[in-house]
Structure 1
Amino acid sequence: MDMIRKFMKYYKPYKLIFFTDMACALTASGIDLMFPVLVRDILNRLQTQAAAASGTIIKIGILMFALYIIQYFCNYYITSWGHIMGARMEYDMRNKLFTHLQKLSFTYFDNNKTGQIMSRIVNDLLDIAELAHHGPEEIFISVTKILGAFIILLTINVKLTLITFAFLPVMTWFSFYYNDKMRAVFTRNKEKIADVNAQLEDSIAGVRVVQSFSNEGIEVEKFKKGNKLFLATKEDSYEYMGRFYSGVTLFEGLIYVSAAIIGALFIGSGSINAADLVAYLLFINTFLAPIRTILHFTEQFQRGMTGFLRYEEILAINPDIEDKEDAVDINDFNKDIVFEDVSFKYSSGDYVLRNISLTINKGETIALVGQSGGGKTTLCSLIPRFYDVTEGSIKIDGKDIRDIKLDSLRKKIGIVQQDVYLFAGSIMENIRYGKPDASDEEIIEASKNANAHEFIMAFENGYNTYVGERGVKLSGGQKQRISIARAFLKNPPVLILDEATSSLDNQSEKIVQQSLEKLSDSRTTLVIAHRLSTIKNADKILVLTDNGIEEEGSHDELLTKNGIYAALYNTQFAEISESVD
């Protein structure tokens, strides 16, 4: 009931459509109830005054035609605008869900597969839209018809009605029993199709890896396994649906047979006349049709409510990271970024960072080096609050970043990563992502600063060139320079370079490194470096290990110490010498 109350709130913006729809439903169901009454009246007139009844019968016929024309317009509104209302509610829910997902922290996306999230946004809400339209309307029509028909049946013959409908309690118990069974299996259906979507998304996204290892057969088998599990739940659902619908049909048949046989016996005893029995049998159909509708509707209800429950599950997840009520904007970055005894661990696992104390002055370039898994990327991710510190604090110009509005904080920080993400669209659109209101001239200027303008103009469509999904039509160096152009356009005072050149060939690295040096000029920059030759000129180099910051100093100072940094540098230098030889 709590879920139903939450669901009903989504009708609020469409109250006019909803109540008009209900009024049309009431009118249409009332006309259906009048049909057997008018037929009974015609039959009774023919029995008692056949010769004089023709004029009255014609008038009743004209009335019936008029009523069904009215019903036509009511059904048109119910079918068209009722569905439009459901589609608009689906639109509202999908917008709300997507907006909520944008607020969730990286932790949620670390723990949930993309395909499963997509299934909740797309598949689950399709069933909700149908429920939104058909739910209140079909229940309202059905209840109106059931009550109206039952009252009329009692007025025709009380004894026949009570005997005939002795089957109803058993039919009701039967319906509730299988209703519970179907709810459980529909939940499993949605879970399994979400798994199939996740497998599909994973395989398609990694198709180049799949084909490079000739592992198409493995992916097919993995997909078949998930698809087979989904098929099994579908078969279970159809098994229960078969029992449910065949059982309902059986009870309907028993009611019809009982009414016909007992009614015929009552005619023989004079308890009912033939005209009343014909009308009675017509009314049984009017009575059973809405019951059939409600019982069949249970399948749609279970599908829709299962989807709504899964929808509400995501909305109930509070973002790990959000603005405090008294959070403030930060207008400028004037002094420093300070880590005060910062420790961090992910929701499950050991500490990644321990007791980090660090001051990054405005305009400084700080390089982070160390073995993989040492916490370099994690440390940088704490500054824009992609994750919150577990212990300690990070301050910008003396203000704890948890007291700064997220939007204001992140606008001050630009990030260039090793794994560049480009959206499916044009080069122009991807660069403009750094500043959505930027002019074409600003984008071109940013591209020139990133050494990207020349290769962009070499394409047939220039800045309107389609980059493909994830920028697949561009080389690694080209994607990286577009990412740098995006950062130039954003023009942030703080810059994070996360191994931005480690995956490039020497020629591309040289060009990209020039662009990065130009981008870093006059900015506070944190560089996560794999190739130590790129950070010789950093103001300060930090060596991170599991124990925290093990070494700190300039390139020359750290070489003189002959410690961890010197060992890393000498190893890389030896590898380079060997490759040259």
Structure 2
Amino acid sequence: MEYFKKILRFAKPYRVYALLNILSNIFYALFATLAMISLFPMLAVLFKQTEPVFEKPIWNGISMGKEYLMEYLNYFVTQKSESGSPGDTLFFMVAIVITAFFLKNLFGYLAMYFITFLRNGVLKDLRNELYVKTVELPISYYSEKRKGDTIARITSDVLEIQHSFLSILELVVREPLTILFTIIAMLSISAKLTLFVFLFLPISGFLISLIGKSLKRKSDKVQKEQGYFLSILEETLGGLRVIKAFNAESRFSNTFKKSTKRFYNFSNSLLNRQNLASPTSEFFGIAAIGVILWYGGQMVLVEKTLKPELFITYMGLAYQILTPAKAISKASYGVKKGNAAAERVLEILETENPIAEIPNPIEKNTFESGIALEDISFKYGEEYVLKNFNLNVPKGGTVALVGQSGSGKSTIANLVTRFYDVNEGTIKIDDVDIKNLKKESLRGLMGLVTQDSILFNDSVKNNIGLGKKDATLEEIIEAAKIANAHDFITALPEGYDTNIGDSGNKLSGGQKQRLSIARAVLKNPPIMILDEATSALDTESERLVQDALEKMMRNRTSIVIAHRLSTIQNADTIVVLQKGEIIEQGSHTELISKKGAYQKLVEMQSMG
């Protein structure tokens, strides 16, 4: 129940609905028992088993409750018979039965009505908290995890929790109380018969519990496999162009089919085990009914210690126990499935964010002197990508980072934006360690334009306005003009209201990049980080984008990670990296005159 308790905290805001549900379930259980007991007076009248009683009986305590009720029934029937026909008495008895069953079902509906708000409320809050946590966790978390597995946890695993754990809340009061009230009624009719029947219950309960022991393990396999094939689907949709271009459809289809085959086998095993719960519990219940029929029949026909109409009522009560007993049995299997789902969901919720803020972090809204990387070292796995790295970026300056792939250029962008934390050393903005800054204010000082233009399935206007919540259309248009994007946007079918499709796929590479630049321009941050912003463009697009970048970088502090060296000739400082270390540093002219690594890179790109 450890996971159940942790999930239960999400039910606190909805405790009023929980209390109303409990209250409704108490009345449901009470009227469920009374509905069956109300059959007895009708049967007594029907079989003419009532003995005339002319004096109203006196209550002599709960121990004599059964005798009092029997006498009062006979007194009531006698009174009605004196003033009317037996048919009127029977009609009145039937009305009592119908009323009792109506009230039972009314409170049953009310219980379900109230629990619906609790269940869906917990589902909503749990998903919201999972989403917030998913966004909060660092990028490094998702470099190790499959995205599809995270999607599976937020969708199917949370639903499993709703179906299993939250179903228990319905059963926790209603079914045990129904059983309790029914047992009290059965004991009042015949304690001897009831005790005889309950000798068999521990045996059947033990046999039922044996079936459910492996359910959690099987359920865990099903949920993990579901996460795996969702990952394959997510990767397929993301890389559809490459899959088609390399005729790799069959390869991905085979991988997906293997996963769904495993899912099929795990699901069959799990569901077959789960489906065994209901027939098993029903079989043992019917076996108990058979025992009652045999033993109770002896009491009615041979010993004559039990009246036939009481025995029929007793049989109805005994059968009534089967439904809640089956529900409890089924719920116990549900708990095991829910346990596996809750474990996976809580794994995300309880994951500690390694890039956490200190208590009372500094809020910084201005940039005054510069950025300093002091003796920083960083590794993704075992090998260091940066070692004892030092770099100063003065305010208003443009520092370009160049070097071969894997030299650590993009890592510096990830560290300055604090997507990752350094293993050693410090990164300072205006002599303040960025670990002491509030993450929101740190990133508020920075604009980011990456090689891959990350756009969203929304309008042009909303994509540009992402970094400024209250941006006006005039401000968005002005940013688009600076980014050389206004002309192509106005040519779109609906202008700034045009939906650009999933990841902006309705636009060309150059158009997407200019929208990314417009987004950064609108944010108007003092620090700009450009991570190979022109490397994937054709010459015409590169010219437009480069012009937009130069306009954007005016009067700003910029860190430019460049693949095409033609784009960074005007940088104040060019830093040449090799295996995480600086091997050359200076202006374009200075580095060319040194005839070192930078000149070789220039010659390789055929720059005269």
Q: Give the TM-score of the pair, scaled to structure 1.
A: 0.95
- Which whole-Å deviations, capped at 9, do the CAs of 1:150-187 have from their partners, x for residues lacking one? 22222222332222222211222223222222222112
Which of 47, 50, 65 in structure 2 is aligned with 1:48?
50
Which of 188, 191, 206 in structure 1 is aligned with 2:221?
188
Q: Does 1:299 find its partner at 2:301?
A: no
- Which whole-Å deviations, capped at 9, do the CAs of 1:362-386 have from their partners, x for residues lacking one? 1111111111011100011111111
Is the CA contact (8 Å cut-off) linking 1:345 and 1:353 kept in structure 2? Answer: yes
Q: Which residue of 2 aligns with 1:286?
A: 320
Identity %: 35
Give 3-state SS (helix, strand or coil) of 2:605's partner.
helix
Is the CA contact (8 Å cut-off) linking 1:431 and 1:443 kept in structure 2? Answer: yes
- Structure 1 residue 98: deviation in Å? 0.8
Q: Which residue of 2 aligns with 1:375?
A: 408
1:473-512 to structure 2, matched below 5 A, reads 473-512=506-545
Which of 189, 204, 209 in structure 2 is aligned with 1:171?
204
Q: Does 1:545 find its partner at 2:578?
A: yes
Q: Which residue of 2 aligns with 1:321?
A: 355
- Which whole-Å deviations, capped at 9, do the CAs of 1:269-289 have from their partners, x for residues lacking one? 223232222112111111221
Which of 105, 128, 147 in structure 2 is aligned with 1:95?
128
Report the AA paired with residue 482 of structure 1.
L
CA distance in 1, matches of 2:197, 2:402: 84
Q: Which residue of 2 aligns with 1:120?
A: 153
Is the CA contact (8 Å cut-off) linking 1:83 and 1:130 kept in structure 2? Answer: no
- Structure 1 residue 133: deviation in Å? 4.7
Q: Which has the larger radius of gyration?
A: 2
CA distance in 1, matches of 2:498, 2:438: 36
**For the aligned residues, what is the CA RMSD?**
1.7
Q: Which residue of 2 aligns with 1:211?
A: 244
Give 3-state SS (helix, strand or coil) of 2:217's partner.
helix
Q: Which ranges in structure 1 are unaligned for 5 or more consecutive residues?
A: none
Give 3-state SS (helix, strand or coil) of 2:200's partner.
helix
Which of 475, 486, 493 in structure 2 is aligned with 1:442?
475
Q: Which residue of 1 aligns with 2:54?
A: none
Report the AA paired with residue 531 of structure 1.
R
- Which whole-Å deviations, capped at 9, do the CAs of 1:306-352 have from their partners, x for residues lacking one? 32222211110011112110311112111011111000012x32111
Give 3-state SS (helix, strand or coil) of 1:90's partner.
helix
Is the CA contact (8 Å cut-off) linking 2:17 and 2:118 kept in structure 1? Answer: yes
Is the CA contact (8 Å cut-off) linking 1:538 and 1:554 kept in structure 2? Answer: yes
CA distance in 2, matches of 1:263, 1:75: 31
- More displaced 10-residue stretch of structure 1: 464-473 or 558-567: 558-567
CA distance in 2, matches of 1:16, 1:64: 32
Q: Does 1:351 find its partner at 2:388?
A: no
CA distance in 2, matches of 1:567, 1:199: 42
- More displaced 10-residue stretch of structure 1: 470-479 or 43-52: 43-52
- Which whole-Å deviations, capped at 9, do the CAs of 1:5-28 have from their partners, x for residues lacking one? 222222221122111111111111
Q: Which ranges in structure 2 are unaligned for 5 or more consecutive residues?
A: 52-76
- Structure 1 residue 35: deviation in Å? 1.9
Q: Which residue of 2 aligns with 1:270?
A: 304
Give 3-state SS (helix, strand or coil) of 1:356's partner.
strand
Aligned length: 574
Which of 33, 36, 59 in structure 1 is aligned with 2:92?
59
- More displaced 10-residue stretch of structure 1: 329-338 or 43-52: 43-52
Change (3 A) 1:492 1:205: same
Q: Which residue of 2 aligns with 1:6?
A: 6
CA distance in 2, matches of 1:331, 1:461: 36
- Structure 1 residue 89: deviation in Å? 1.4
- Structure 1 residue 476: deviation in Å? 0.2
- More displaced 10-residue stretch of structure 1: 128-137 or 486-495: 128-137
- Which whole-Å deviations, capped at 9, do the CAs of 1:384-436 have from their partners, x for residues lacking one? 11111100001111111111110000000111011011000111110010212
CA distance in 2, matches of 1:439, 1:275: 81
Is the CA contact (8 Å cut-off) linking 1:210 and 1:216 kept in structure 2? Answer: yes
Change (3 A) 1:67 1:283: closer
Which runs of 4 or more aligned residues in structure 1 lie more than 6 Å from their structure 2 counterparts after TM superposition? none
CA distance in 1, matches of 2:203, 2:600: 82
Q: Does 1:528 find its partner at 2:561?
A: yes
- Structure 1 residue 54: deviation in Å? 4.8
- Which whole-Å deviations, capped at 9, do the CAs of 1:519-548 have from their partners, x for residues lacking one? 111111111111111111111111111151
